[in-house]
């Protein structure tokens, strides 16, 4: 079975469509979405429509989904993120605001060995930044493989006692990073952000898992960053949101 894993689309329809063009619907069996469909970008309705049209098999909400749909106030966001969330709340159609508002809380089981979450299995808003965070998340996971998002950085942590192995994709590589899932080990994997990468590579990031071959690929695909940037500026959103797309930060 082929799984397509998407996270942190952040209202960037150009990036999302580039990923979907690279991975046609006929090439995967299940779609997993790890949250933050909206926030930051200028195309929230287009992204929500596209994702719901695809009928994802498993989806969870992200922190920007909560704020941009009115579930939470943006008081804990920085000013740029808060401004984008307020704009998104006003821009979403009534139907799409309700769709985003009712996205389920993670974690969620995807297969008999895979679960997904936005931040961590124990708290949807906690970031995994280092090995200590990863160890705690791995201990809380209920499935052998847990896909997470939130940090916008592709990375894989493997519980291989007594150590914790870490795999980070080579920056700018044109080849996917392949993670072979070894028997008896547990994995915490971030596919990176579709719509706002923060690892220094502006290309859209996503993941693929082959359950039969027991491997995960962390992939990148270029997209029209300039169009996404123009839309952000034209919408009156903070210009810094447009600039960061060009540098992948």
- pLDDT tens, position by position, 68-91: 999 999 888 999 999 999 999 999
Q: What is the pLDDT of residue 213?
A: 96
**For tokens 């930044």, what's the residue?**
129
Query: Is pLDDT of 98 > 90?
Result: yes
**Domain range for residue 31?**
2-247
Q: What is the pLDDT of residue 160?
A: 79
Query: Is pLDDT of 162 > 90?
Result: no
Q: What is the pTM of this model?
A: 0.95
Percentage of residues in the chain having pLDDT higher than 90: 94
Please count the structural domains in the chain. 1
Mean pLDDT of the region 159-185: 91
Mean pLDDT of the region 2-8: 98
**For tokens 């974690």, what's the residue?**
107
- pLDDT tens, position by position, 107-138: 999 999 999 999 999 999 999 999 999 999 99
Query: Is pLDDT of 178 > 90?
Result: yes
Q: What is the pLDDT of residue 137?
A: 96
DSSP three-state, residue 32: strand
How high does pLDDT run on average in the chain? 96
Q: Walk across the sheet containing 30-33 and list its strands.
A: 58-59, 30-33, 2-6, 204-210, 215-221, 177-180
Task: Collect all residues with Cβ–Cβ distance below 8 Å to 113 and sequence separation of at least 6.
Answer: 143, 144, 145, 211
Radius of gyration of the chain (CA): 17
Q: Across-strand partners of 5?
A: 32, 207
Q: How many CB atoms lie within 10 A of CB 47?
A: 24
Q: Which CATH number goes with the domain that contains 163? A: 3.60.21.10
Query: Is pLDDT of 163 > 90?
Result: no
Query: Is pLDDT of 211 > 90?
Result: yes
H helical segments located in the chain = 13-22, 44-54, 63-68, 79-91, 94-101, 131-140, 225-234, 239-247
């Amino acid at each position: 079975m082929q799984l397509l894993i998407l996270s942190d689309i952040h209202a960037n329809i150009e990036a999302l469509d580039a990923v979907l063009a690279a991975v046609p619907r006929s090439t995967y069996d299940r779609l997993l979405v790890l949250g933050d469909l909206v926030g930051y970008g200028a195309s929230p309705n287009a992204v929500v429509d596209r994702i719901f049209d695809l009928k994802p098999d498993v989806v969870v909400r992200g922190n920007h989904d909560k704020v941009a749909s009115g579930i939470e106030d943006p008081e804990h966001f920085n000013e740029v993120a808060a401004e984008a969330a307020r704009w998104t709340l006003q821009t979403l159609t009534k139907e799409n605001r309700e769709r985003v508002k009712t996205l389920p809380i993670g974690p969620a089981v995807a297969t008999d060995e895979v679960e997904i979450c936005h931040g961590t299995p124990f708290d949807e808003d906690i970031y995994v930044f280092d090995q200590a965070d990863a160890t705690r998340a791995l201990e809380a996971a209920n499935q052998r493989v847990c896909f997470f998002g939130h940090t916008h950085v592709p990375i894989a942590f493997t519980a291989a006692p007594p150590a914790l192995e870490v795999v980070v994709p080579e920056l700018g590589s044109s080849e996917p990073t392949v993670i072979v899932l070894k028997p008896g080990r547990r994995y915490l994997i971030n596919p990176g952000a579709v719509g706002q990468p923060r690892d220094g590579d502006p290309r859209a990031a996503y993941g693929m898992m082959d359950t039969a071959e027991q491997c995960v690929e962390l992939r990148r695909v270029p997209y029209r960053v300039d169009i996404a940037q123009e839309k952000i500026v034209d919408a009156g959103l903070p210009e810094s949101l447009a600039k960061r797309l060009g540098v992948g930060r």
